[in-house]
A and B are shown apart, each in its own frame.
Chain A
Amino acid sequence: MTDLLVVTGLRAGYGRAVVLSDISFRLGAGEAMAVLGRNGVGKTTLVDSIVGVTRRFDGSLVLEGRELAPLAPEQRAALGLGWVPQERNIFRSLTVEENLTAVARPGPWTLDRLYGFFPRLKERRANSGGALSGGEQQMLAIARALATNPKLLLLDEPTEGLAPIIVEELLSALARLVRSEGLAALIVEQHAHKILPITRSTLILERGRIVHQGPSDELLAEPARLEKFLGVSAR
């Protein structure tokens, strides 16, 4: 299996603070990987470091054989990174449709296809981003990342703060994306039991370091290990 993203010895943080140390992992083409860990362990920092909005102290990030480290965020985006930030950060003053078309790049994810995937967004296409509900905003954030036709989707806690019924809807959409569409994804999640079934591998962080790497189904089969890392039951 060819590697899509290879991270080696990454050390990164903000300003003078080092948050992540010694991060190394590989993500295969079409592979979905879960990133787990308690609050504040550096999950967002990892995603942001791939996008290019943190400070990198050391290490390398290679996407399809190209070193990302010296590139600015807009250049990295052009190479195929689709980011769904934890804060969603949709463009509130732009309409739903403009949010999608402002960043769109040619590829299989056309506007029609996105609307087919998220019918809610089609209904609200003319509304401004700021007028959407939390769930709709999250869908829009995902759709916007897809509109760039990325090779790798980076999702930072996509279900955070959403009503359970919306969470189900969203997770099923994600499952379709990674399983049927075969899109490579890095998915940060709090709910291990929900994300493990739809990812192939898992990465667990603790205080800025990787403490576990392995197939998701193994972890799912061993709730005790999960509990050890996350301090919660994997219910």
Chain B
Amino acid sequence: MNERANAWRRRGVLAGLAAGAASLAAPSILRAAPSGTPVRVGGTLSLTGFLAQTAAIHKIAAEIMVNEINGRNGFLGRPVEYVLLDDQSKPEVARSLYEKLITVDKVDLIQGPYATAPILAAMGVAQRYGKVMIQSSMGIPKLQTYDRAFPATPFGPEPDKTYPNVILDAMASLPHPPKSILVLTSKFPSAQFMAKGMREQAEKRGLKVALYLEYESGNRDFGAIAARVKEADADFLWVGSLGLESNQLLEALHKLDYKPRNHFHLYPAPGPLALSPDGDKALCSTFLEPAEPFLSRPGVKRIAAEFKERATKANLPYAVIDAQAAGMVSEWQILEAAVNGANSLDDKVIADWLKKHRVETIYGSLRFDGPYNHGDAAQLIKQAQNKEWKVVWPKAFAAPGVTLMGT
């Protein structure tokens, strides 16, 4: 535990000293505008279909980054153009669109899609053509078997082991640490993967697993599940949820007049969960929040302001930059650093460069030389307090005066 806390502190310091700060913080007017034929970067996002709500966030983040990069030096002094297509949240569509981007549109580089299934589909195509692919949202690192695929989000190589322990550390710090845990999860692969790890690590640390339950993704009615959660009445409720499922569960619990004592949610829709009256004190993992100390990272304040403006204009109800948007920001920061660092558009050269260098991103300093091209894990825990997400754990990342609240 101490060692981990130290690691965190070290990372915090590193982030503060970020070596690439210059490139991110320098005002664009000091540089010559990029010129020549644009470097075309192709990618898909799930602009329609069931993943559409996150794609809207990613699209805005990508547009901001392309502008930023073009305001600096572009790629190798040439302007960058993002060729964005809609994969309709379907892996098979993503697969054929990447095929088209590479062979028909002949893009110079590619950028990964969102969510595990489309990423795996696109990764197959990327591998066939040897393209470097950076992605930000594959929750199961060991599936990233292609050696030119790089994660833009610091999950670490084994999040199913590291991640539960961050949560359990946080729980253990409470005045009344939970003695029992209820693990409820969607059968969505990346959620199930984490839930299994959570159960294992909780048992290892001597917590009683009161109940382990799986539900099918797309589950409509949480009434019966809520009744089981209420009956088991564990000290800590861990929910491997996606999107709205957490809100649905908490509302169903409310209808049974039950309030979970401590509750964690895996991949919820952050806006609705924080804003819901039932979401109070909900815990969630994150890599970044629009607060200190993250805003002090180079360029983040500017990107956050820009994001807020564009998201408000696009009528998004939760117009605040968060880990979702940051994933896309990080993808472009990595690509920019790698292309300009390697001084090449050649995928092999870019991939080799990434394996040897660190990149300063919105998430802090990332490296790519570990298993599955992952570096260190950097999960944080945030809590909904007064309808806002606050980073509460590790303590080094909590804003002054903010503490983890238990029951």
Q: Indicate if A touches B (C-beta under 8 A).
A: no
Measured CB to CB, the residues of B under 8 A from A are: none
Measured CB to CB, the residues of A under 8 A from B are: none
